[in-house]
Amino acid sequence: MVGEKKFKKISWIGLTVFILLTAFLGYHLKDIRFDYDFENFFPSHDEETSFFFDYRDDFQSDNDFLLVSIENESGIFNPKFLKKVDEFSTALAEVKNVESVRSITSESEQFIFPGGSTSSKPYIDFTDFDAERDSSRIFKNKELVNTFVSENGKAICIFIKHEDYLSKIKGDHLVEDIDKITHQLNIKNIRIAGRAVGQAYYIDKMIFELSLFMGLSAFLIVLFLYIAFKSLWGILIPQIVIVGSLVWIIGGMGLFDEPVNIILTVLPSIMFVVCMSDVIHLVSKYLDALRIEKDTFTAIKVAVKEVGLATFLTSITTSIGFFSLYFVRVQPIQVFGIILGFGVLIAFFLTFLTLPILFYIFPGPKHIRNNKSKGHFWKSFLEKGFVYVIKKRKMILISSFIIMVISIVGMLQIETNNFMMDDLKESEQMKQDFNFFDDNFGGIRPFELSVRVKDKDLKVWDKGIIQQLDSVESYLENEFGVTVKSSLVKMLKTLNRSGHAGNADSYEIPTSNSKIRTYKRIIKIADKGRFVYGFIDSTEQKTRISGTIPDIGNVKARKKTDDFYAFLKENNLEKDIEFKITGTGYLLDKNMRYLAISLVKGLGISILLVALIIGLVYRSGRILIISIITNVLPLLIIAGYMGFAGVELKTSTSIIFTIAFGIAVDDTIHFLGKFKYELMKGKGKLYALKRSYLTTGKAMILTTLILSSGFFLLVFSSFLGTFYMGLLLSITFVVALIADLTLLPVLLLLFYKEKTKSTKD
């Protein structure tokens, strides 16, 4: 053991290094940035993700647009209202990073005459406006309804195509410019949806919530430290480590340019409870030792020796719980797991590096040595609890079994579902805006169908191919619920109607190859070599059907996708053409299919590693099994609650189980450590159980209170996923405490066999 002189010497060196590194990493807090790139939630290392990126290179992004809706309760076919919309659309076209703006006030109907000459007529001609005539003309053109005008005639939608992959800064400027124009023209009843708006909204919320949780965590730190130690020393000294740990982790993210994603907004709350747990165990033991030991240095040695190993083990098991999230094939969750896993280890390192130094330099309050209180309340309370558990052990076993069965029934009812806006509460304006577009303009969720002609001798312009595409597109619109925004079939139908003087009955695919060739020539002249607005490639063997669908959730979307592929097979439509659903919405849905498998894999690895550690440290197979049973029960209960309460398994709620197991097992380890220690002293099993119950019970209750309170902070989040994470983890830790104070002693009493010289466990 290090002598006092040597310890004193290295203390100042260690403290200086800690201060310098904390200052260095604190400087890099300014480099922290926030990221809400939903593409990071695509399945990683997946061939369909790679396919989509290649598909997007052939065409264009499916999600770099904004939809702007303006309502007029008395109806949109009002000259004054339409002129303001037109003025607004014209102003939007001049905004930086906007590539094009489409509005019903700027759209025209095309007419094609024999010989191929064309002319056009605006749908809204302000020099000759007739509300009844013009509205009738617009509503008979199918492609305009639910695209540019709502079916009820009370809202107009303006389509803004902006530069692909806008950065957060450029996206913010775009939204600010639109807001500025909106106020200048006094536009009322406006709603905006799209990636740029969502990105700005989410990142602003993330910044606010990170600050909120840091503030709330700081308040709880002071509150719990005061309750635990009731002195200024007990508040200030531990905070140096707690604040230092947060600075090291967040500053380290800034140093290595790792952005804060939507899941990492909970980092302050998690690190608060992890640091507090380590700190309270060490400080409490040090103050207890200070009451009876002759000097400060001896008290420090006793505290580190008695709680060091157990705290190290709990830090390892907690970090394993976080590290196991690496097996979830979603990049933000993997980053979350890695950062928090290292964060737990950093918190342990700083606690046992810095606190002993601070204890030596700033000894505890003078009144501690004279305080001989043995905690009569806790002793009496825990003695009664232990007697109750021993007397009711049969009832505890039966109750635990019944609860386990009920929980499994509930767990089997959990649904894996995901909505694009399901992380927002119904009261959030953005969610209301997205719901409005779902109800009135075919939704905001992108739908993409890749089309590739298999025969090298055929092109997408061939009549037979177009007929098959027409069948597919009809199915998509009538059965799948897709509002097709752009496709070759839609363009040809529109041109065919134009060639028949705008007759709505002629909105159908051309009947001959010669007409198709004529329309192809007209399209290419109008398109000016851009390969038809980005939906036919240069080989003319690939095309896309692009549109939107309402945010129906991934369960319904998966069913519709399966039905679509069944339709293709039944009608032999894949003989000449390869169809493949892709796009951002589809990939986010596929990601959800991985979650259940990834969750089981990650949780299984976490349980296995923790079990191996417990087995190796305590060298008992029975203790290993008993500890796993005790800590799996809370997971089953929370899974059962999710099933019965209808809380769906999604990206944010999927990580609850691995986090809960990694942290909840901490109390079990502390209890088992004391139990084995008493047995090693030659005590009997019942006596060892009682001593463990009385000496660790208070710490278990206090740490659970801290854990639950820290995670309960998350219920103040605007994001439902974060809300449920906080609520469910808080419940899990309380359930885990009850299991450790009831089921664990009963299992040890009934099934653990004491070792003798002649037998082995």
SS (H, E, C) 443-507: CCEEEEEEEEECCCCCCCCCHHHHHHHHHHHHHHHHHHCCEEEECHHHHHHHHHHHCCCCCHHHC
DSSP result, 558-604 = HHHHHHHHHHHHHTTTTSSEEEEEESHHHHHHHHHHHHHHHHHHHHH
Closest of 548, 574, 706 to residue 224, by C-alpha: 706
How far CA 753 is from CA of 189, 391, 532, 666, 742, in Å, comes to: 73, 20, 78, 23, 19
pLDDT in tens, 592-601: 666 667 777 7
The strand pair at 155-162 and 65-71 is best described as antiparallel
Q: Which residue has the tokens 């025209």?
A: 108
Q: Which residue has the tokens 């790139």?
A: 37
- ∠ Cα 534 536 537 (to 5°): 95
Residues 6+ apart with CB under 8 A from 490: 143, 473, 484
What's the rounded Cα separation, in Å, for the pair 210 and 264? 9
Dihedral sign (CA 490, 493, 497, 498): positive
Q: What is the pLDDT of residue 589?
A: 76
Closest of 76, 89, 104, 84 to residue 185, by C-alpha: 84
Q: What is the pLDDT of residue 719?
A: 80
Residue ranges and CATH numbers for the domains of the chain are 1-46+231-372 (1.20.1640.10), 65-200 (no CATH), 374-412+620-755 (1.20.1640.10), 431-586 (no CATH)
Q: Which residue has the tokens 């939608």?
A: 157
- Inter-residue contact 146 to 442 (CB < 8 Å): yes
- Inter-residue contact 216 to 716 (CB < 8 Å): yes
Q: What is the pLDDT of residue 757?
A: 46
SS3 725: helix
Dihedral sign (CA 590, 592, 593, 598): positive
Instruction: Give the phi and the psi of residue 445 in degrees, each rounded to 5.
Output: -75, 120
User: Which tokens hold the place of 643?
Assistant: 């099933």
Name the residue type at position 147: T
What's the rounded Cα separation, in Å, for the pair 387 and 373? 23
Kind and range of the H or E run holding 742:
none
Instruction: Give the phi and the psi of residue 111 in degrees, each rounded to 5.
Output: -130, 135
Instruction: Give the phi and the psi of residue 683 in degrees, each rounded to 5.
Output: -80, 155
Kind and range of the H or E run holding 177:
helix 168-184
What's the rounded Cα separation, in Å, for the pair 190 and 218? 40
Closest of 250, 238, 218 to residue 346, by C-alpha: 250
Closest of 274, 425, 269 to residue 342, by C-alpha: 274
Closest of 687, 488, 485, 447 to residue 577, by C-alpha: 488
Q: What is the pLDDT of residue 593?
A: 66
Report the Cα 27 to chain-centroid distance in Å. 29
First to last CA, the chain: 33
What's the rounded Cα separation, in Å, for the pair 556 and 28? 45
Q: Which residues of the chain have pLDDT under 50?
A: 372, 375, 529-531, 757-761
User: Which tokens hold the place of 111?
Assistant: 């007419």
3 state SS for 42-96: CECCCHHHHHHHHHHHHCCCCCCEEEEEEECCCCCCCHHHHHHHHHHHHHHCCCC
Q: What is the pLDDT of residue 673?
A: 80
SS3 108: strand
Q: What is the pLDDT of residue 25?
A: 94
Q: Which residue has the tokens 């959730």?
A: 553
Dihedral sign (CA 474, 478, 479, 480): positive
Q: What is the pLDDT of residue 83?
A: 93
- Inter-residue contact 60 to 543 (CB < 8 Å): no
pLDDT in tens, 174-191: 989 999 999 999 998 999
SS3 188: coil
Estimate the share of the chain in helix, then strand, then coil, as percent rounded to the nearest 5.
65, 10, 25
Q: Where are the alpha helices (DSSP H) in 256-293?
A: 267-292
Kind and range of the H or E run holding 181:
helix 168-184
Q: What is the pLDDT of residue 595?
A: 66
The order of strands in the sheet holding 65-71 is: 98-102, 155-162, 65-71, 190-194
Name the residue type at position 280: I
Q: What is the pLDDT of residue 545?
A: 93
What's the rounded Cα separation, in Å, for the pair 473 and 507? 14
What's the rounded Cα separation, in Å, for the pair 746 and 230? 35
- Inter-residue contact 201 to 430 (CB < 8 Å): yes
User: Which tokens hold the place of 620?
Assistant: 């008992």
pLDDT in tens, 77-106: 999 999 999 999 999 999 999 988 999 998
What's the rounded Cα separation, in Å, for the pair 333 and 340? 10
Across the strands, what pairs with 78? none
Dihedral sign (CA 691, 695, 700, 705): positive
What's the rounded Cα separation, in Å, for the pair 177 and 158? 16
Q: What is the pLDDT of residue 232?
A: 82
